[in-house]
Amino acid sequence: MKKQKNISTSRPTKATAEQFDMLFPMLKSIYNEIKELSKKKQDGALNEIKVKMANRILAKVKTILNDDPTVEFLDLLDEVSLPTNSDGVLIIAQFEAAMEQYKAKHYGWTGIEHAWTTSD
């Protein structure tokens, strides 16, 4: 017998799923960029522009994950005391993991195709 996914009661809307699909590749891109910076200089501080750009995406991701239990573990990058490259990698990796868990809960095989299970 095939095991069914445990889908929470608060399913995303179609608009939320579309926003997820837009933001997830951007989040991965930022993660990869900061990871490369961290390889070169782990203790180097991220510059203000990178932090602001990352936080714009991270804030929208937190909105998507607002009803998900993982949201309480997600913090934006500190714009005052700029984080190091390695701190940025850690923080953004948490966002990426939370997004992957969210997708695993709400996206899958419908019997016809792979698609989001939405509330509308």
Its pTM stands at 0.89
Share of the chain above pLDDT 70, in %: 92
How far, in whole angstroms, is CA 67 from its chain's centroid?
14
Q: Which residues contact 41 (CB under 8 A, 6 or more apart)?
A: 85
pLDDT of 10 above 90: no
Task: In whole angstroms, give the CA distance from residue 11 to residue 117.
Answer: 7
Task: In whole angstroms, give the CA distance from residue 71 to residue 61.
Answer: 9
- Model pLDDT for residues 56-115, shown as the tens digit of each residue: 999 999 999 999 999 999 999 999 999 999 999 999 999 999 999 999 999 999 899 999
pLDDT of 27 above 80: yes
Task: In whole angstroms, give the CA distance from residue 93 to residue 88.
Answer: 8
